[in-house]
Structure 1
């Protein structure tokens, strides 16, 4: 499901190049001022030594200055300790550089409390190299000129900082390509801004892809018989993830899905429109999910009627089927609509079932209160 893909964003943000300063030197001995300052801030020194010990050998370092800036923004001592334990590279940033970043981020996220939360979750995005400041400013100005919501811009900066570090011309080219595709597929100009905001929000990394990827994907799908209206509908459903696709992977996945479900080209297109996951999940994953559903007694015709059930892992499917069975609902003979969807969707459907009495059951998939 799209949410699963979206969870990789925070991990990708950590790939931002580390701050570099010509004056910094690496010593064979630890910088005791840095060690003592981190210790006074209750930072887990052992964790820093284990994962990024080289930082403790750098000089100069600005541990106290970084902590003071975060405190001035409203960060508590525990939050400061967590930030520096996760991203100790922050202590290598010059105070002037940090102040410049603070002013930059405040222009799109004026509430200090929210900004502290962003820094806590995406420290690598905030404590970036000073050499990127000009590109960041230019990109902020560009996205503001598109009248995008400030929250969207902030999310882009936090989860896809590379897109703000690259020349603004690259982002302009990709945005124009997306807008052109939207118009050519019959999208209404009045809805362009909302459509673009949703797309960038769902997958900020779309800006890092070559525009050719989007064109190749659309040409491939058009060759597979999707109409202009269907392509617009699909593009809206896939949002930014349309750029994660390529003709070779889609060709393989579609061939497998069509063979597994025994459907026609027209039926396959309807299935893809209802469940875009059929396009971007590898055939290995789809094979596992088909097997899991069929093993639970679900028929292939049921899957074809409700293909969105393929967005669920086998564990989640089995867990939901067991819960439904406790209510007297047999997924093998009923609609899979009650089974599919997000956790919230399932709980709402489940709560409406009045076919039996629910008995307490241990959840073998996840701890109590955890997302399934």
Structure 2
């Protein structure tokens, strides 16, 4: 977090982000904008004003390779409007050396050969593609390692896009974490035949698990074991948490569990069942849980209903309030009915509302249908 400095000069300095000089050590910073860069960006219909507001320092760098970046993206199938969007959101791309960009293209196409798919990934994660040239060897080694695990290439591509830090570091660190995950999976009774699928799902749903120290995983699992969870339950929990167990620590989990148990008035065994059904009880801070309990109770929902369907705690108070109002409009009272109808994605909820509406509008009998008479 930026420190607050009183002087106006330092406040002005805070608005200028630190320059990623590791992108191109030979780059020079000028007090005036690089007019060639500005003209080239204008020619590509890039939003210059947005760049000046958010990343104006890029326009002061020299040399820049705007036309080369655009040419690379065009060659991969990107339209002119898409190129403009990418450079507006990530103007630092123009500071990458052409040979550096070409190397990146070769590395990424080794796991994502479809050029148009790759362009779509670059649009969403431009900083992952236009990265430092000093990491190419690590990227290459990590790609080879993850492919050696027989992981789907799409999963490896997703890892590179969403967690590029795990590919820029030495491969040995990823090997250690993956080995730990595999060992824990087997120790908890996971089947060897399913381990690849389990690992693939875990990494795709939470790629940042790779960036955590292996001892964090073991320490958290030991804490949960001391809380009475069986090995089978720990495996189930680790799979449901999708790696979030590495984001936690025993102190925060203890606080959250103590608060939840006291608030719901349940036994330790009941609390374990609640956690297995709703891992949010483990990783949501006490303040968030307090707000959600308050919102549910103020809507007339009983604590026994929450204990029976704890997954409603995963929904924000605003979503719960909106869904309760929608259900009430269709004649459904959550105070007396199941809370399960509140759960699910927006699509799931709309489908449930549709069924309630249909049930409410369907007549008890069809008055125009011919009556059947006895023969």
Q: C-alpha displacement at 1:269, in angstroms?
A: 0.1
The question of whether the paired residues in 2 share the 8 Å contact of 1:93 and 1:127 is answered with yes
Q: Which of residues 59, 67, 72 is equivalent to 1:69?
A: 72
Structure 2 unmatched ranges of 5 or more: 1-17, 363-375
- Whole-Å separation in 1 of the counterparts to 2:121 and 2:131: 14
Q: C-alpha displacement at 1:350, in angstroms?
A: 2.6
- Whole-Å separation in 2 of the counterparts to 1:352 and 1:287: 32
Q: C-alpha displacement at 1:22, in angstroms?
A: 2.3
Q: Does 1:51 align with 2:51?
A: no
The question of whether the paired residues in 2 share the 8 Å contact of 1:108 and 1:153 is answered with yes
Distance 1:175 1:273, change over 3 A: same
TM-score, length basis structure 1 = 0.90
Which structure has the bigger radius of gyration?
A: 2
- Whole-Å separation in 2 of the counterparts to 1:301 and 1:133: 55
What SS is found at the alignment partner of 2:23? coil
**Aligned residue in 1 for 2:141:** 138
Q: Does 1:287 align with 2:290?
A: yes
Q: Does 1:20 align with 2:23?
A: yes
Q: Does 1:96 align with 2:99?
A: yes
**Aligned residue in 2 for 1:356:** 360
- Whole-Å separation in 2 of the counterparts to 1:148 and 1:164: 15
Q: C-alpha displacement at 1:347, in angstroms?
A: 2.4
**Aligned residue in 2 for 1:163:** 166
Q: C-alpha displacement at 1:351, in angstroms?
A: 2.5
- Whole-Å separation in 2 of the counterparts to 1:116 and 1:19: 24
Which string of whole-angstrom CA distances, capped at 9 and with x for unpartnered residues, describes residues 130-167 of structure 1? 00000000000000000000110000000000000010
Q: C-alpha displacement at 1:19, in angstroms?
A: 4.7
TM-align CA RMSD: 1.5
Q: Does 1:39 align with 2:42?
A: yes
**Aligned residue in 1 for 2:12:** none
Structure 1 unmatched ranges of 5 or more: 1-14, 359-372
Larger RCO: 1 or 2 (CA < 8 Å, sep 6+): 1
**Aligned residue in 2 for 1:339:** 342
Which string of whole-angstrom CA distances, capped at 9 and with x for unpartnered residues, describes residues 164-183 of structure 1? 00100000000001011100
Q: Does 1:236 align with 2:247?
A: no
Q: C-alpha displacement at 1:16, in angstroms?
A: 12
Distance 1:203 1:18, change over 3 A: farther
Q: C-alpha displacement at 1:53, in angstroms?
A: 1.1
For residues 212-251 of structure 1, the aligned pairs below 5 Å read: 212-251=215-254
**Aligned residue in 2 for 1:85:** 88
TM-score, length basis structure 2 = 0.90
Q: C-alpha displacement at 1:17, in angstroms?
A: 5.7
The question of whether the paired residues in 1 share the 8 Å contact of 2:21 and 2:27 is answered with no
The question of whether the paired residues in 1 share the 8 Å contact of 2:23 and 2:131 is answered with no
- Whole-Å separation in 1 of the counterparts to 2:238 and 2:355: 33
**Aligned residue in 2 for 1:29:** 32
Distance 1:17 1:195, change over 3 A: farther
